[in-house]
Chains A and B, each alone.
Chain A
Amino acid sequence: MKPDNLICYHCGDICPDDTIKIDNKLFCCNGCKTVHILLSDNDLTKIYEEARIGSDSKSKFDKDEFSFLDDNSIVEKLLKYNIENRSKVIFYLPQIYCSACLYLIENIHLLESGVLESKVNFLRKEVSITFDNHKTSLRKIVELLTLLGYRPTLNLSDIEQPRKIAHNRALYIKLGIAGFAFGNIMLMAIPEYLSGGNIQSDIRTYMGYISILLSIPVMYAASDYFKGAWHGLKMKTVNIDVPLSLGILVLFLRSVYDILFTADSGFIDSLTGLVFFLLLGKLFQQKTYHNLSFNRDFKSYFPLSVIKSDNGNDKPIPVNQIVPGDLLSIRHDELIPADSILESESALIDYSFVTGESSPITAMKNDKIYAGGKHKGSVIKIRVMKKFSSSYLTELWNSKLFEKQKESTISNLSNTAAKYFTAIVLVIAIATAIYWIPKDMTIAMNAITAVLIIACPCAIALSIPFSYGTTMRLLGKRKMFLKTDKIVEYMTSADVIVFDKTGTLTELNKSEITFNGSPLDNDKQIAIKSIVKNSTHPLSNMIYNHLNCETVIVDDYDEVSGKGLMAFVGTNSILLGSKSWLLENNIKIDAESGDISGEFNAESRVYVAFNGIYSGFFAINSSYRHGLKSLFDELLKKHEIYILSGDNDSERNHLQTLTSDKAKMQFNMLPADKLEYISKLQQSGKKVIMIGDGLNDAGALNQSDVGIAIAEQHSNFTPGSDAILIADEFPKLTKLLTLAKNGVTTVKLSYFLSFVYHSIGFFFAVQGLLSPLIAAILMPISSISVIALTVGSAYLKDFRLSRKI
């Protein structure tokens, strides 16, 4: 067998040799073999027809890794419910991606007999598992899932604030009831309209009573609008729900009166149709992106447990139970859970998460390291100084500054419209009353109620859900996901756009390092790597990570801050640093290649000299996203642009060129500085869009009017925000803003349209001539034309934008 045919039957990885096998099936490791035997013993091998099970590195875990799940206080918080011997838990399994995953996970009761039921929600990538807690334990289930390649994500936020699942059940029920009543009442009303009112009186009476009966549950279906109106009035504001509720109530009462005491047939058909359309709008508005989370805070980033070393015994403990003095082991890529002192010799800590500073920082023994930093490299030991809840990061997050005071999610546009509209309606109603009451009381009552019925602003209430809802869907197609549809409006009203630099304008982990000059042989590479190892300067760290070789001991190491390094490796003297540092040390620098672009380039340079002879320089480029220049050009037409960065200002010049020198820039900003900067902008009357990525931007994203988080992939962990934008689409931001703008314009247009309908309606109403037939024609036509206008306009704009490249 050729070596490249040695593919693991279980996970699809390449096997080191062909020693582990069963029946001609090869396995890369004993772990895969064990899982395979487990699966084949239980008739679950069908999984292999569709997929190879996740890579083995993910499915491996330390014997004690999940032992914190034996702790009842944690288990209690993770469980959804726990009645007698039956428990239920919901896990988020990001690895679910095909129907084979579903098959395997829904059959885990065959592998673990205590599991009673496991049910996957594919879109949410969640599994809910019901199990018998006498026969099995949460830990066993988590270990089994991990073994199968589906490691549940267990974060601190899972126990502090359990995931909430919002269902549309209530809305479906209301919609069903309203639709049912609407359809049946229409069916009974049509014969009357067609016969021109000449209908047998017993049939009419019967139909009238049935209509009243059917419309009672519709009043329940409309209850949200009554509640909304009541809340609004209590807060002393007039929102769109006020005229709506007034209209619905008057419609209902007038119709009941008409049917019971007069020969008229009432407006019940219009009433039910109105409620049905309104609820339809509500459903349309509720597009939720299940697998995205907009409400994350720092707790979602912290693991549930850390490894505590207790007299040489490593034991996982829950992260919120660590106390000062604990000795913790932190592995590669794990977060530092609390402010601590480093006990190991040295460590490389990446604080990009907390501060936005893109380069990892080297900490030496006894240095203080802060919560939120991510450790890179082999296992380190740290001694906890502060409790988890009082670390720098936690305190920062809990500070007053981070508490958002965004007024509400209610659209400003609809509120303004509602205020004017209600005022106009009241004036017309009062004028009608003054005119008619002295003349004829019956006509007066007739006319006043008719005005209030026609005043029911269904077209206005529908235009926002349908316009913003459609825009939100179209934005979703273009990979921008909004938290609620109201964000469309906030996006449009912004006049300032604030960018974070690291990770937003630049691509993370993608600094390009090239060496210009005479090529470095292996010895020189080793020498350079050994020297930069001693330096904490970000550029040194980048070069250290760039060079792929071992290191040796250096002598007479000297670092002059802001200039460069000097050291001996063996007998060779080496200088590393800025151009002036080399010139100061009397080294002649020959004409370098690529030096022409000089100052205006984004690259930082580190010059190298061996034994007094210049040998070249390292060029270090932050890699900026493509298309930024044209994006800025477009944006600058209508917006002010600010760039806030946690980094130093080494790239100021390049950013100035990118933004045609029109952007205001601030460097060395801490998360709290960014937040404060944005709130200052807001105090000066600006509406701010903040675009950022890391946890360090979370406060600013929260404070801004619209916080847009940039994510490299769908599944990326993004901080809480109002919108999530996939990084590839970032250069097309102007198109997205245009689409949103179109949504708002359409709403205004449909307000005008419904104004026309209302004028026609008022014309009949003030004369007391509003017949059920006119109402039954006018109301659906206005609703449907508004829906057609809003949805059509959004799609048309989207189509035009896709053609314009």
Chain B
Amino acid sequence: MSVVIILMSASLFVAIIFLISFLWAVKNEQFDDTFTPALRILNDDNKNNVKLKDGVDE
């Protein structure tokens, strides 16, 4: 078996990881609003800021 096949498999494997992370990001609503987060980052986190994060989806 040629080494090219191993290399291609490896590159495909890496590409699939990126595809999966892209799909995850879309499902995780990261592409729903591409504007607000840019503003949100300007605000400092509050010291007593408690965030809710236990997967409440619509």
Contact = CB atoms under 8 A, between A and B. Distances in A.
B56 A88 contact: yes
Contacts of A120: 36, 40
Contact of B43 (A102, A130, A203, A206): A102
Contacts of B22: 176
B26 A210 contact: no
A169 interface: yes
Nearest to B33: A121
A106 B23 CA distance: 27
A80 B16 CA distance: 36
Contact of B44 (A46, A102, A106): A46
Interface string A451-495: 000000000000000000000000000000000000000000000
A28 to B, nearest CB: 27
Contacts of A548: none
A183 B8 CA distance: 13
Contacts of A210: 8, 12
Contact of B19 (A86, A177, A188): A177
Q: Among A124, A176, A183, A187, find the residue whose CB has the most chain B CB atoms closer than 10 A.
A: A176
Interface string A167-183: 11100110011001001
Contact of A99 (B39, B47, B58): B39
A399 interface: no
B51 to A, nearest CB: 7
B48 A110 contact: yes
Contacts of A107: 46, 49
A123 B23 CA distance: 24
A80 B27 CA distance: 19
A169 B31 contact: yes
B44 to A, nearest CB: 7
A110 B26 contact: no
A117 B51 contact: yes
| Interface residues of B, dominant DSSP | loop
A121 B15 CA distance: 32
Contacts of A123: 33, 35-36
A169 B25 CA distance: 10
Interface in B1-56: 1-2, 4-5, 8, 11-12, 15-16, 18-19, 22-23, 26-27, 29, 31-33, 35-36, 39-40, 42-44, 46-52, 56
A183 B39 contact: no
B49 A169 contact: no
A183 B40 CA distance: 34
Interface in A167-222: 167-169, 172-173, 176-177, 180, 183-184, 187-188, 200, 202-203, 206-207, 210
A99 B8 CA distance: 47
A102 B39 contact: yes
A292 to B, nearest CB: 15
Nearest to B42: A99
A169 B16 CA distance: 19
Interface residues of A, number: 40
A402 interface: no
A202 B4 CA distance: 11
A180 B21 CA distance: 12
B32 A176 contact: no
Contacts of A180: 15-16, 18-19
Given A81-B58, A176-B26, A202-B2, A43 B48 contact: yes
A685 B2 CA distance: 70
A717 interface: no
Nearest to B19: A180
B42 to A, nearest CB: 5
A797 interface: no
Nearest to B1: A202
A43 B44 CA distance: 12
Contacts of B1: 202
Contact of B58 (A80, A121, A176): A80
Contacts of B16: 180
A167 B32 contact: yes
Q: Among B5, B18, B26, B50, find the residue whose CB has the most chain A CB atoms closer than 10 A.
A: B26
A121 B31 CA distance: 12
A185 to B, nearest CB: 10
Contacts of A187: 11
B46 A102 contact: no
A80 B57 CA distance: 11
A290 to B, nearest CB: 9
Interface string A91-127: 0000000010011001101100000110011111000
Q: Among B1, B15, B36, find the residue whose CB has the most chain A CB atoms closer than 10 A.
A: B36
A43 B43 CA distance: 13
A43 B39 contact: no
A621 B51 CA distance: 59
Given A99-B39, A121-B36, A172-B26, A116 B46 contact: no
A202 B40 CA distance: 53
Nearest to B49: A107
B12 A184 contact: yes
B37 to A, nearest CB: 9
Given A169-B31, A177-B19, A117 B39 contact: no
A169 B58 contact: no
A381 to B, nearest CB: 43
Interface string A707-728: 0000000000000000000000
A123 B15 CA distance: 33
8 contacts: A43-B48, A46-B43, A106-B40, A121-B32, A130-B56, A167-B32, A169-B26, A203-B2
Given A46-B44, A130-B52, A177-B23, 7 more contacts: A102-B40, A110-B48, A168-B31, A169-B31, A183-B15, A202-B5, A206-B8
In the A-B complex, the 7 residue pairs with the closest CB atoms: A122-B36, A99-B39, A103-B43, A117-B52, A116-B52, A180-B19, A172-B26
